[in-house]
């Protein structure tokens, strides 16, 4: 019977990433068939894996969802937090969001049960694009567009160069490969602008298109194939977690 490392088996259930699984194993919270185990243990499909004495062994196919998050929903797996994304979707299997989208913001976010791809997608040095449409509180000048595209001071660093294009006098499109906390809002604030509306319309090759707010869909086979090709050269999960 095929075997796999315990941390991989745990991550494939959607419980957590491999790195988080290693910590759980090291701290003695994981048992296989009722016995405490250490790192490096291999398991089969017939083994019973428990975390905090809760059975998590379950044969679930990989899940990859594109979700149009409405404003007001918080991207957290903590279901005690009001208006959290997990309770809002009420999906029948354990899933978690890939990255985040600010509570006041809306638009595209991925959810999955595949712990292996999370950091590969999020790792900024892998140059995975994220596209946003942003409306601000006043007219956009050429100097604003130039400074945004060249980088501004945010969180003790200078943002990477990016693509910025005016759409309307108070609205612009921006394509980032970084994922700093509230990056676009902080960039605009630094330049004297306030974000009125922010919507993410694309991550990598997957676009929001006609997906309505509050709705989700599975990746198409073609989207998944391209995704696997793109992340195939990305940093490994364990490396990206450091």
Boundaries of every domain in the chain: 4-55, 64-121+209-240, 129-203
**Whether 102 is catalytic:** yes
Q: Of 27, 102, 116, 160, which is the active-site residue? A: 102
pLDDT for position 113: 86
Closest CA to 51 of 16, 3, 76, 79: 16
Per residue in 203-233, pLDDT (tens digit) is 999 999 999 999 999 999 999 999 988 887 5
Quick one: pLDDT band at residue 120, thresholds 50, 70, 90?
A: confident
Q: Which CATH class is domain 129-203?
A: alpha beta
Whether 64-121+209-240 shares its CATH topology with 129-203 is answered: yes
Per residue in 36-64, pLDDT (tens digit) is 999 989 998 888 899 998 888 666 688 99
Quick one: pLDDT band at residue 128, thresholds 50, 70, 90?
A: confident
3.40.50.2300, 3.30.390.10, 3.30.70.580, 1.10.3720.10: which CATH number matches 64-121+209-240? 3.30.70.580
pLDDT for position 45: 80
Q: Does domain 4-55 have CATH number 3.10.290.10?
A: yes
């Amino acid at each position: 019977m095929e075997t796999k490392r315990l941390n991989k088996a745990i991550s494939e259930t959607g419980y957590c990433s491999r790195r988080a699984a290693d910590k759980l194993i090291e701290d003695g919270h994981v048992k296989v068939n009722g016995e405490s185990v250490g790192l490096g243990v291999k398991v089969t499909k017939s083994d019973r894996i428990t975390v905090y004495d809760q059975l998590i062994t379950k044969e679930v196919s990989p899940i990859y969802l594109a979700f149009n998050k409405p404003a007001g929903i918080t991207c957290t797996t903590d279901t005690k937090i009001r208006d959290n994304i997990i309770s809002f979707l009420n999906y029948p299997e354990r899933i978690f969001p890939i990255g985040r989208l600010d509570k006041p913001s809306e638009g595209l976010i991925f959810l999955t049960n595949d712990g292996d791809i999370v950091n590969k997608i999020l790792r900024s040095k892998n140059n995975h694009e994220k596209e946003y449409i942003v409306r601000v509180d006043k007219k956009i000048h050429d100097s604003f567009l130039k400074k945004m595209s060249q980088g501004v001071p945010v969180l003790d660093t200078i943002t990477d160069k990016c693509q910025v294009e005016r759409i309307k006098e108070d609205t612009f499109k921006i394509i980032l490969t970084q994922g700093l906390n509230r990056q676009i809002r902080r960039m605009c604030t630094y330049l004297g602008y306030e974000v009125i509306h922010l919507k993410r319309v694309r991550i990598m090759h997957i676009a929001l298109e006609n997906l309505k707010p509050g709705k989700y869909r599975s990746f198409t086979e073609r989207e998944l194939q391209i995704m696997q090709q793109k992340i195939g050269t990305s940093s490994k999960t364990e490396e990206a977690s450091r």
